[in-house]
Each structure stands twice: as structure tokens, then as C-alpha cells.
Amino acid sequence: MHVAAVVAGFDPQAGGGHTFEQEILGALRTAAPGSAHRFTVLCPASSQHALSERLLGSGLGVAGVPRRTGRLATMAFREIESVRAHWRRKSDLDAVAEQLGVDFVWFLSAMPERTDMPYMTVVWDLQHRATPWFPELSAGGIWDSRDSVHRWFLQRASRIVTGTEIGRRQLTQFFQIPDNNILTLPHPTPTFALEDVGAAPIDVVRGLGIHQPYVLYPAQFWPHKNHVNLVLAIANLKRQGLDVSVALVGADKGNRVHVEAVAAREGVTDRVHFLGFVGRSDLVALYRHAVALTYVSWCGPENLPPLEAFALGCPVVATRVPGAEEQLGDGALFCEPGDPQSISRAIADVHADAGLRGRLVEAGRRRARRFSASDYVAGVLTFLDEFSAIRRCWP
């Protein structure tokens, strides 16, 4: 089959989605020559040049998808069932794919797009259903929009990739997806973390204004990322006489001012460092010298930063949310997301107990090597091999 691998774009500041897509593209670049299928990467027209440069010499084609459909028409299609039932105009994606002779569409990210072709997609979370109280998942019509879009997009998919059994159960529970239409492929550990053996001098961390001991939390500033309870945990440690600060990496999605206000109220402004977006070399150094990664999000079931920390030898403190224990196993010390005392105890234990720290690092390294981007792509290729027998039944 001729498969279109659709990516959201090429923006390093887009967070985990960008990292995930680039990992999968890297593995596909290696695996594609030995596959029975031909691949073309489809991306927004604005990203075509950057991706073409990135994939030069790979044998993977790259084509840009111009956005001709207006915003209101797109919204009407996504939100209104009767519009979808009677819409006959080709989508921007299908217009390009048909011109290229594409047989099947593979959405690398969780990005609902209109297509009449058979397709597979990935679901990273269904948190608007599992935790609908967060404003970024529900307010201003967001819940209704997300639920409507997920329903038509997921129920029409030929396959849906999820990383955990929790994710599989949520798909069947929330959207009645047949079990046979779900493919379980865990998040791969990012290659940059697995292969990084270079020096990460402490001077890099100090240059960012951070002094040891500190914990690290790379997460965009959404309420569900739970920065507030982490700040309260840092305040608990201060009251106990333990001098630990926190390095916060990530873009502001509207909640940073609230986090800053809580830090000021608790008297820990000097211990809460807002670094914004940092480059990869700085991030590696922050992982290498941290007491722990404190991944305290309320949401799962999978997340990339704990895998990065595992590979880079950074102990992981993670919140006990559905899917976290399945993904992280014995590589993390778990705490309760809504209990600052639980979070601060976990940080204090890792800080004080060298034996515990060593066990977490060793278990994390084993966990990091458990599943790679190559494994993920191999699972997708197996499905594509199977589906080709179906796809040959029409022109």
C-alpha cells in the first residue's frame, strides 16, 4: 500500500507531541526500505520545507497540505452530525492524498482530521471523560467539542493505537470501540535520552539559575499538570528544614500566574524557578543533576518525561493515576496527586535514601529499554501488512 504518514507539523516547542512524532519518523526512516509499503509524510504546507530537510535522503516522500477549507466550515463538519452526513467536498488532506495515489492514512498524532480513506490514529488520553472538571478539558464548550470529535473520528478508524490496557478499556467504555479495532503499543522511550552519553556539566544547570538540590518538572502550565500541589509540597519541605527547589520547564497555557501566586503566598518564590522552554542539551543536564523528576500530573495514562528520566538516570516520583503504574512499573516512587504531604514525603525519601535512589535509577534504566520507537513502528507495519489484504478489495 501507499501509506500517508500524517504529522501535525515541525515545531520543537510543541512539547511531547513533537518529540513523539520525530521519534516515530526516525524509526520509520529505518524500517521503510524493508517494508512492503511506500510512505509519504503529509504535513501542513508551512512545515514542508523543514521536514523535507529533516528527512533528506530517507526515501520518504514529503508533501504539504494547504488549508483551503475555511475555519467555520471545518468547525461545522467537526461539530454537526448532519453536516458530516451530507458533506461531499473532499477534505484538504484527501485532495492531496488522492493526487499522490495514497491507499491508507496513518495519523501519527492524536489529531482528528476529515478523511474518507481508511485510517489509523493514536489516542494519548481521554481525560475530558476521565477528569472532566479541569477547565481546559471542559469549559467554554471544550468538553462538548472534544467528545463530538472523538466520537466520529475514533469510531470510524480502522485501528486505534493506545499504550496501555487502561487506555484500551477507556476506549471501549467511553466510545464503544470494538476491542479488535484497538492496537496496544506503549509509548517508546525517546532516542535522544537512550543514546545520550555526553557530558552534562552542572555549570549548565547553574547557568539557568538553578542550584542543587532541586527537583524537575517539565510540563506546560495547564491546571491538570498539578503545579500547585507540587509548589505546596516544596513549601512543606521548607517548613521541615529541607532546602529543595523546583525547576519548572514548559510553556504557559494560562495557569502560570496562579502558580506564581501560590508560590508567593507560601513563601517559596525563591525556590520555584520558571524556565519556560529550554533546549535539549539544557533539559538533559537538568535531568542528570536533579534529585528526581516529579511528574505530578493528574492525567495519564501515559507520559513521555518519565521515560526520558529513566533513560538519563534520573529517579522518578510520579502520581498514582490510572495507567501510571502500568507504564512505569517499579521504576517510579508513587505519590498521591492531591496530597502535598505525600509528594513532599516522596521527594524527601529520594533525597535522603541513596539506596532507594539507586534502585529507582536501575529499575528505570531497565524500563526505558523495554520499548523503543522501532518496536512501535514494527507493530504498525504488522497491522499494515494485515490490512493490505482488505485494502486491495477496491481501486
- Residue 113's pLDDT band (boundaries 50, 70, 90)? confident
Confidence of residue 14 (pLDDT cuts 50, 70, 90): low
Band (pLDDT 50/70/90 cuts) for residue 76 is: low
Instruction: Assess whether pLDDT exceeds 90 at residue 200.
Output: no
Domain with CATH 3.40.50.2000 in the chain: 2-188+372-391, 191-368
Average pLDDT over residues 65-72: 75
Query: What mean pLDDT is reported for the chain?
Result: 92
pLDDT at 329 over 70: yes
For 221-267, what is each residue's pLDDT tens digit?
999 999 999 999 999 999 999 999 999 999 999 999 999 999 999 99
- pLDDT value, residue 79: 61
Q: State residue 10's pLDDT score.
A: 65
DSSP string, 204-248: HHHHTT--SSEEEEE--B-GGG-HHHHHHHHHHHHHTT---EEEE
CATH class of segment(s) 2-188+372-391: alpha beta
Cα dihedral across residues 351, 278, 45, 60: positive or negative: negative
What is the rounded distance in angstroms from the CA atom of residue 367 to the CA atom of residue 56? 32
Tell me which fold the domain 191-368 belongs to: Rossmann fold (3.40.50)
Q: What is the rounded average pLDDT of the residues 92-109?
A: 96
Could you tell me the pLDDT band of residue 337, with boundaries at 50, 70 and 90? Answer: very high
Mean pLDDT calculated for residue range 265-286: 96
Query: β-strand 61-65 against 38-44: which pairing, if any?
Result: parallel
Average pLDDT over residues 114-119: 94
pLDDT (0 to 100) of residue 68: 73
pTM of the model: 0.89
pLDDT at 196 over 80: no
- Label residue 17 by pLDDT band (50, 70, 90): confident
Q: How many whole angstroms separate alpha carbon 83 and alpha carbon 230?
A: 45
13-27, 51-65, 217-231: least confident range: 13-27
Q: 218: number of CA atoms within 13 Å, CB side?
A: 25
Tens-digit pLDDT profile for residues 140-159: 999 998 998 899 899 999 99
Residue type at 117 in one-letter notation: M
- State yes or no: pLDDT of 88 exceeds 70: no
pLDDT higher than 80, residue 15: no
First-to-final CA distance of the chain: 11
